[in-house]
Amino acid sequence: MDSLTKAIKLFASGKPIFIYDSHSREDEVDMVYHASFITYKEIYLLRTVAGGLICYVMPFEVGRELGLKFMDEILSAIGLRDLATKRLGYGDKPAFSLWVNYLGVKTGISDVDRALTINKLYEVTSLIYNGYVSEGRKKFYEGFMSPGHVPILMSRGISSRKGHTELSDALSRLANLTPATVITEVLDEGTSMTLGKVKELAERLDTVLVDGNDILDAYLRNIHRESPY
């Protein structure tokens, strides 16, 4: 069984997957779960094992049905274009949209609170992705506040951007799951964790490290439901 086939199988069973983007981009690894499997225990692992920013990924088409915009669009519209148009070395537009809390949380930052916010975001995403747009919008606008402690990333589509946001979205689609993931950069002391150390970490967690190019190649060989940005 090749690493991608194994990754898809493990991902669909609720295991975390490690995704490497590429040497020519961030040159980083993210720890990735499908959003449907998130409990406070997965949040604890993400923050203690990976250590980066814990983000919720939804498809672009779902975000647009909710009326969401990318944060660079929001900042540009309020006169902060000089900040919003700058780019880091790898050149991509950022995937960030709003940061939210579910109204049922206490402060929003605990493992339990962030898991609850993500669970409710997944309910919204599932409704809209499966055609229940008005129900999803109602649940979102009645149940959430912003700013909060869970950043929403919107996938711009793998044809437009090839970051961990889009790669994790593509992995969901390859696994025939609702495209919704939770991703976190894997950090070490002072810097990002090396590929060698991530491979050892993946082995300890009985999972795999997959190259983003393998996800990209498999995705482009198949026809999947996607509305690129």
Stated as kind and residue range, the H or E segment containing 170 is helix 164-174
Helix axis angle for 164-174 and 3-12, nearest 10°, is 80
Q: Is 211 a catalytic residue?
A: no
Indicate which residue of 21, 28, 101, 219 is catalytic: 101
Indicate which residue of 132, 149, 214, 224 is catalytic: 149
Indicate which residue of 185, 219, 226, 229 is catalytic: 185
Stated as kind and residue range, the H or E segment containing 142 is helix 133-143
Indicate which residue of 40, 90, 132, 211 is catalytic: 90
Closest CA to 67 of 76, 55, 58: 58
| Strand, helix or coil for residue 51 | strand
Contact (CB, 8 A) for 171 and 215: yes
Q: Is 55 a catalytic residue?
A: yes
Indicate which residue of 30, 123, 169, 226 is catalytic: 30
Q: How far apart are CA 202 and CA 8, in angstroms?
A: 15
Q: Is 40 a catalytic residue?
A: no
Q: Is 26 a catalytic residue?
A: no
Q: How far apart are CA 60 and CA 229, in angstroms?
A: 7
Indicate which residue of 33, 42, 55, 169 is catalytic: 55
Residues with catalytic function: 30, 55, 90, 101, 149, 185
